[in-house]
């Protein structure tokens, strides 16, 4: 194979082939990949020690990139057997010129003025209840939503779009009564990690005009060795590299996942900028490389309503857990008050988890559930 990247891509494709296997060769994707790489070490770099070490270092970077893609700290946490259920769509990514907000803004434009309330944090969702509006004794609602500011809303149906990270941390007190054990266990077993971006703005680009990527490879690293556990000293080594943002040409975007990414969130902008400058000076061999003039980064783990970036199928879980998470409540299909709680979100899409299109499609799925219910005879429900 021509490059370490080719080898890694080939092994990753072979890892997906164990989907549905009764006896996969390893519990995790990481363990499987390392075993396969270890078998091929004698052939790496045509047996020359220095070339071999460099190829292993490049493979270590491939692991870090896959951690970003999977939203995990380590590929050892990602289950091997269900790994192949994830589906990558062909074609280029769709980007919004004004940012992602263009998509929800377009959706909101079709809704009546004042129908969407922002900055309205919810404290508790009470369900399977019998609640009435003050002064209206004629109608019972099964759900009461209590907000942090004391406001309450009654409803027949609530669509709960919070990320899996929030559910992991808060589901026990967020829902009253608590979620059924089956759903709570699925929430516990599924994986949810952090992938952050670090944007660096420069006065002038120091890279070639045609350059699209600056990959970071640390020559002393290998996927066959344990990385340093000293986050303070080595967090930046989890960085996979930098993408050159187009069309402006003077901004780099770095990607970093896992516990190192979460540690980065605790640092000040000045500390991150200083460390990134040091990394780029090492990378280019230019100790006088000008520092970036500004830094901007995401903090997905620190955000109290996300607690991370997106989901993965962890060792000990399976695609069945995704389906359980997606199931509306109450579980009994004959319940006279159906679809009280509905659960869209990327973590509820069995083949497109971790993606925006998975999140969008899951929202359409839950909307269609309600559409089908509304078509049935009976009193008009209230959302």
pLDDT of residue 155: 98
In the block, residue with structure tokens 């995704």: 322
Tell me the domain boundaries of the chain.
Answer: 4-85, 120-178+307-375, 195-297
What's the pLDDT band for 379 if we cut at 50, 70, 90? Answer: low
- Give the model confidence (pLDDT) of 256-286 as tens digits: 999 999 999 999 999 999 999 999 999 999 9
Among candidates 318, 367, 373, 319, which has minimal Cα distance to 343?
A: 367
Among candidates 109, 91, 99, 158, which has minimal Cα distance to 131?
A: 158
Q: Are strands 241-244 and 310-312 parallel, antiparallel or unpaired?
A: unpaired
Domain spanning 120-178+307-375: CATH 3.50.50.60: yes
Alpha helices in 190-268 (DSSP H): 231-234, 258-265
Give strand pairing partners of 200: 252, 295
Q: Is the dihedral of CA 14, 20, 24, 28 positive or negative?
A: positive
Q: Which distant-in-sequence residues (6+ apart) come within 8 Å of 145 by Cβ? A: 122, 124, 125, 126, 152, 153, 154, 155, 158
Whether the model pTM is above 0.75: yes
Rg (CA), the chain: 24
Q: Which distant-in-sequence residues (6+ apart) come within 8 Å of 343 by Cβ? A: 160, 325, 326, 327, 328, 366
Give me the half-sphere count of Cα atoms (radius 13 Å) on the Cβ side of residue 7.
Answer: 23
* 3-state SS, one letter per residue, for 295-334: EEECCCCCCCCCCCCEEECECCCCHHHHHHHHCCECCCCC
Within a 10 A sphere around the Cβ of 97, how many other Cβ atoms? 5
Mean pLDDT in residue range 109-130: 95
- Give the model confidence (pLDDT) of 18-39 as tens digits: 999 999 999 999 999 999 999 9
Whether 125 contacts 143, CB under 8 Å: yes
Range of weakest confidence among 3-12, 64-73, 135-144, 331-340: 135-144
Whether 260 contacts 72, CB under 8 Å: no
Residue 1 has pLDDT above 50, yes or no: no
Residue 382 has pLDDT above 70, yes or no: no
- Give the model confidence (pLDDT) of 179-229 as tens digits: 999 999 999 999 999 999 999 999 999 999 899 999 999 999 999 999 888
> What distance in Å separates the CA atoms of residue 6 and residue 40, rounded to the nearest whole number?
13
Percentage of the chain modeled with pLDDT above 70 = 98
Percentage of the chain modeled with pLDDT above 90 = 87
- CATH class for the domain made up of 195-297: alpha beta
Residue 115 is classified by DSSP as -
């Amino acid at each position: 194979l021509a490059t370490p990247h080719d080898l890694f891509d080939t092994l990753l494709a072979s890892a997906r082939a164990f989907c549905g296997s009764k006896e996969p060769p390893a519990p995790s994707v990481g363990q499987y990949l390392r075993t396969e790489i270890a078998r091929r070490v004698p052939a790496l770099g045509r047996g020359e020690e220095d070339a071999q070490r460099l190829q292993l270092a490049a493979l270590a970077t491939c692991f870090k990139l896959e951690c970003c893609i999977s939203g995990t700290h380590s590929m050892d946490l990602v289950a091997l057997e269900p790994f192949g259920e994830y589906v990558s769509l062909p074609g280029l990514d769709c980007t919004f010129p004004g940012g992602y907000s263009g998509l929800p803004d377009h959706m909101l434009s079709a809704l009546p003025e004042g129908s969407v309330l922002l900055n309205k944090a919810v404290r508790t969702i009470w369900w399977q209840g019998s609640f009435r509006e003050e002064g209206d004794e004629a109608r019972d609602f099964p759900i009461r939503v209590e907000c942090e500011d004391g406001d309450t809303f009654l409803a027949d149906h609530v669509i709960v779009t919070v990320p899996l990270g929030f559910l992991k941390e808060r589901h026990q007190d967020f829902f009253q009564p608590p979620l059924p054990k089956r759903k709570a266990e699925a929430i516990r077993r599924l994986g949810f990690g952090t992938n952050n971006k670090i944007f660096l703005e420069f006065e002038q680009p120091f890279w070639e005009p045609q350059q699209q990527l600056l990959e970071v490879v640390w020559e002393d690293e290998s996927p066959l060795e344990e990385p340093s556990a000293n986050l303070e000293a080595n967090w930046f080594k989890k960085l996979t590299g930098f993408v050159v943002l187009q069309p402006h040409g003077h901004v780099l975007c770095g990607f970093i996942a896992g516990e190192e990414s979460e540690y980065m969130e605790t640092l000040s902008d000045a500390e991150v900028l200083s460390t990134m400058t040091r990394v780029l000076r090492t990378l280019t061999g230019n100790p006088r490389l000008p520092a970036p003039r500004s830094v901007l980064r995401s903090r997905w783990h620190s955000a109290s309503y996300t607690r991370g970036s997106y989901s993965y199928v962890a060792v000990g879980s399976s695609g069945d857990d995704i389906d359980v998470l997606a199931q509306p409540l109450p579980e009994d299909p004959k319940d006279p008050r159906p679809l009280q709680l509905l659960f869209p979100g990327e973590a509820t899409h069995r083949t497109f988890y971790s993606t925006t299109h998975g999140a969008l499609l899951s929202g359409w799925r839950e909307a269609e559930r309600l559409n089908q219910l509304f078509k049935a005879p009976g009193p008009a429900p209230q959302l």
